[in-house]
């Protein structure tokens, strides 16, 4: 039997940082207001397309695994903010890393990365594939109406990736659960898509809508129920979980989730303060940060869970392997950015604030 192990990991975060104090220069908010409600201190704003961040993260993950892009059997890229819908941007990454395999995008919003890992692990266990690259990458700043505080303070840009490889060594992905709650699909959405009237200029004013209170309740229920389900299916007690990597949407959601599941808070990894919510990229970025901080150790049992628009939810249980350091490193990096984050978003800020003022 083949087991699916994470053997490589990498991230890519844009250099331009937008702090809470930066947001307070053009909207009614404060650093304290944002921190106490979300746990976020800053987020990154990308000056490049999603595929470029994804490609850099992928190169770091391949180097960490000690393999070349040509060795991959499949690329799965989770994103809700691709450069293009046609073609998929997994093909762009494929070209950038020299891969010659199948490649496709999936959109399960913030749960997308775990959806991808679950699918990849099943393909490895079935013998269909041996080496699969899974990427979570988002440029959510593209969707933001900066005059709407309820969403403008939440999201950031970035990418993370892992390599999943077949092994005879027991462990790796032990199990996963996926679910969707269609009754809640309208509480977190953007109207971008073919439903838009392409001949009406107002249709270009798409942005992320969110019902924060409803999302909060459904997120905790979705992640909690699936986490318990995957633990039950794997025959593992919550007490035997060494480390938890939850989706980084809101620190209050994470705190409530681990409290209800009776997980000690020190077992849960939280890095939302530095990135905001990067949707499908939050968990692979968190994996990279946890490894660099020594929080992930050899042979740990790790639980990861997520929720997102749809409303999707996912939970995954894995047994980490022996190695927690990369085999090789890559010098791949995003091109330099000659603008501040405030300068990058200024055209959108001006547009949406002027639109809001004219609507009064």
Q: Catalytic site residues? A: 110, 247, 277
- What's the CA gap between 101 and 14, in Å, rounded? 28
- Residue whose C-alpha is closest to residue 332's, from 88, 156, 159, 163: 159
Give the separation between CA 224 and CA 53, rounded to whole angstroms: 31
How far does the chain reach from its first CA to its final CA, in angstroms?
65
Structure tokens at 198: 């392409």
Determine contact, residues 74/102, Cβ cutoff 8 Å. yes
Question: How far is C-alpha 143 from the geometric centre of its chain's CA atoms?
Answer: 16
- The H or E element that residue 3 is part of is strand 3-12
Q: Which residues of 102-132 are buried (b: 16+ CB within 10 A; e: fewer)?
A: ebebbbbbbbbbbbbbbbbbebbbeeebbbb
Give the residue ranges of DSSP H helices in 39-179: 50-65, 90-97, 112-125, 149-152
**Strands ordered across the beta sheet of 131-139:** 3-12, 157-167, 131-139, 74-78, 102-106
Cα 231 from chain centroid (whole Å):
22
Alpha helices in 293-340 (DSSP H): none
């Amino acid at each position: 039997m083949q087991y699916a192990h994470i053997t490589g990991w990498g991230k890519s975060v844009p250099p331009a940082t937008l702090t809470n104090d930066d947001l307070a220069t053009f909207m009614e908010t404060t650093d304290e207001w944002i921190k106490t409600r979300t746990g976020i201190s800053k987020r990154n704003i990308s000056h490049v397309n999603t595929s470029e961040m994804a490609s850099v993260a992928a190169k770091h993950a391949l180097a960490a695994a000690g393999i070349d892009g040509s060795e991959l059997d499949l690329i799965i890229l989770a994103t809700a903010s691709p450069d293009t819908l046609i073609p998929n941007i997994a093909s762009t990454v494929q070209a950038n890393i020299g891969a010659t395999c199948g490649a496709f995008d999936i959109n399960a919003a913030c749960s997308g990365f775990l959806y991808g890992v679950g699918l990849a692990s099943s393909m490895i266990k079935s013998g269909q594939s041996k080496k699969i690259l899974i990427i979570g990458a988002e440029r959510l700043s593209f969707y933001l109406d900066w005059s709407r505080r309820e969403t403008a303070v939440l999201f950031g840009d970035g990418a993370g990736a892992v390599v999943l490889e077949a092994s005879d060594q027991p462990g790796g992905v032990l199990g996963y659960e996926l679910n969707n709650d269609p009754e809640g699909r309208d509480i977190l959405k953007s109207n971008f898509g073919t439903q838009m009237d392409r001949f009406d200029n107002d249709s270009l004013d798409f942005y992320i809508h969110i019902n924060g209170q409803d999302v909060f309740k459904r997120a905790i229920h979705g992640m909690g129920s699936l986490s318990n389900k995957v633990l039950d299916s794997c025959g593992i007690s919550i007490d035997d979980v060494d480390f938890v990597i939850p989706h980084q949407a809101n620190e209050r959601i994470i705190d409530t989730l681990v409290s209800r599941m009776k997980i000690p808070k020190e077992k849960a990894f939280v890095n939302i303060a530095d990135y905001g919510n990067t949707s499908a990229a939050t968990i692979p970025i968190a994996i990279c940060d946890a490894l660099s901080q020594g929080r992930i150790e050899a042979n740990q049992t790790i639980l990861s869970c997520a929720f997102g628009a749809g409303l999707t939810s996912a939970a995954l249980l894995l047994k980490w392997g022996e190695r927690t350091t990369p085999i090789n490193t890559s010098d791949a990096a995003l091109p330099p950015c000659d603008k501040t984050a405030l300068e990058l978003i200024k055209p959108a800020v001006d547009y949406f604030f002027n639109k809001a003022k004219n609507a009064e």
